[in-house]
Amino acid sequence: MIDAYSGVGTISLIVADQVKEVIGVEINNDGVKDAVMNAKRNNINNVRFHRADAGKFMVELAMKNEAIDAVIMYPPSR
C-alpha cells in the first residue's frame, strides 16, 4: 500500500497493522524524518518512508511494473 503525501506518517502508521507493507511518500524532508521517528517510537516495522514527489514516485513504480494493492492520497490543499 502507498500513503501518498504521507506527511509525518499518521495514516501510514494507523493502517500498518492491517496490511503487509506501507510505503509512505512525502516531499518534505522534515516530514519524512518525523515519520521515521514516529514509526520507531511506535515499534512499527512494516512501513518505509521515501522523500519524493508522490506523483512522480507512483509513475516510476508503474514504469517498473511494481504491484501496489492500494493507494491512500491526502494531498495538501493549495
Domain spans in the chain, listed from the N-terminal domain onward: 2-73
CA-nearest of 18, 4, 10 to 41 is: 10
Task: Pull the grid cell for residue 25.
Answer: 511518500
CA–CA gap between residue 62 and residue 18 (Å, rounded): 24
Amino acid 78: pLDDT = 67
Output the CATH code of domain 2-73. Answer: 3.40.50.150
Sign of CA dihedral 47, 51, 55, 60: negative
| pLDDT per residue rounded down to tens, the chain (78 residues) | 999 999 999 999 999 999 999 999 999 999 999 999 999 999 999 999 999 999 999 999 999 999 899 999 987 776
Predicted model pTM: 0.91
What tens digit of pLDDT does each residue of 6-15 get? Answer: 999 999 999 9
